[in-house]
Amino acid sequence: MSEHRTTVAGVTVDTRHWIGGQRVASPRTFTDASPIDGAPIGEISRGTATEAGAAVAAAKVAFPGWAATSRAERARILHAIADGVEKRLEELANVETVDNGALLRSHRRGVMPRVAHNFRFFADWLLTLEHEDFATRGHTNHVTWDPAGPCVLITPWNAPLMLATWKVAPALAAGNTVVLKPAEWSPLTASLLADITAEAGLPAGVLNIVQGYGSEIGDALTSHPDVRRISFTGSVPTARHIAAAAAANLTPLSLELGGKSPLLVFADADLDLAVDLAVEQYDNAGQVCLAATRLLVEEAVAEEFTRRFVARASRLRQGDPREESTDIGPTIHPRQVAKIDGFVRRALAAGARAVIGGHPGEGQYYAPTLLTDVRQDSEIVQEEVFGPVLTLQTFSGEDEAVHLANDTRFGLAATLATGDPERAERVTARLVAGTVWVNCFFVRDLKAPFGGSRHSGIGREGGTWSFDFYCDLKNTVTAPKGWRHHG
């Protein structure tokens, strides 16, 4: 590592902020370490209110020019950014795997292609965004989506670049300028994104990136009077703090928060499919907000389901995420390992039984865990663990299944396995969730609305819903030619 740069997987990454089209260093740094082996991989500029304020100021200066840029030109630049992502896809995949520990094969085949798609999708959607004019007593109503202003986007560590660009792309497409604050546990691919956007011709100040701890720069970003939108993905306690900071300026918020999603398995389901869906919840070491961590299985098939689940889960290989044969990588940070283990230990002490797992492995690896004999009101059932820990409960009919599924403070997603289409329709209509999957999981189209109910969030993004959030909607009413108003 040299001053202001580090080399990860053969890729040189600048460790400074990106503000107003320039690299900006902070006097202090923080250490970024790889979850694979705990080794330091970079000394990252540690932002303060000074850098946060400078980034918002740069975004404010750049906003009029970018807002006035034609839709076609904005779309062209977003496609150029996507080209840059695809050109550096292998580098991005390797760096992010070292930085956050997710599987390299997933980054190569799914995550980084999705990063490019985020930019292409919103670039193309922008060019088709329109509302049909309508008449009121001969007057014409014309609806437009106007750029709102500088946006602060705060993103998590579990899918750093994909979730960042899920916000950055529509915000830029809408004509806004952006201040991105990536998670301090996985900041490196955001820095590479800055390089890619500059090479694509994005004007200086349109995208700014400030690194650091939320406790040190968060308030300066979220309470700033020049910020017109805030989008955050993360925990409920942090969201409360952000909402309080934004309240003084009435800054609109989009919050995608935690989940404690259920997987309902009915006796008429394809059990092999249901087991595959359940084991899939260990993806990314369980560090997925949408994960269906509560397995709710009809009593008649619970024993057989559990037997097949254990057999299937026992074949999972946990280890170095850079190896093709690995199914489960490490947990992001030692603090997260301790948090997960605390949940499991308290559950076991309260009477839960570990069918598999129930303990940490070496380093930052936590064994895939399935807990049974858990009470509905217990912490392990009610609170988000964000690790490879599932619980299994049984039910005797649709009413009990729906009650158990809805009986938490969350409502992000739900998954349903059944062979009866009519049952699927009845049950999904009663589930409280932003997304429901029937006999599938994690099928996501950017055209669809995404977000959570209850404590899982506020608002929806995706397709036109993203532009509804990142824009000020305006209705212009024009009188017919020659018409005079007599009030």
> What amino acid positions are annotated as catalytic residues?
256, 289
**406 burial level (CB within 10 Å; 0-12, 13-18, 19+):** middle
DSSP string, 407-456: -SS--SEEEEE-S-HHHHHHHHHH---SEEEES------TTS-B--SGGG
H, E, C per residue of 292-361: CCEEEEEHHHHHHHHHHHHHHHCCCCECCCCCCCCCECCCCCHHHHHHHHHHHHHHHHCCCEEEECCCEC
DSSP string, 53-77: HHHHHHHHHHHHHHHHS-HHHHHHH
Query: Whose CA is closest to 230, among 358, 52, 33, 62?
Result: 52
356 in Cβ contact with 408 (< 8 Å): no
Token pair listed for 250: 């009435």
Distances, alpha carbon 291 to alpha carbons 108, 233, 428, in Å: 21, 15, 17
Distance CA 438, CA 141 (A): 40
Coil, helix or strand for 269?
Answer: coil
258 in Cβ contact with 410 (< 8 Å): yes
**67 burial level (CB within 10 Å; 0-12, 13-18, 19+):** middle
Distance CA 118, CA 169 (A): 6
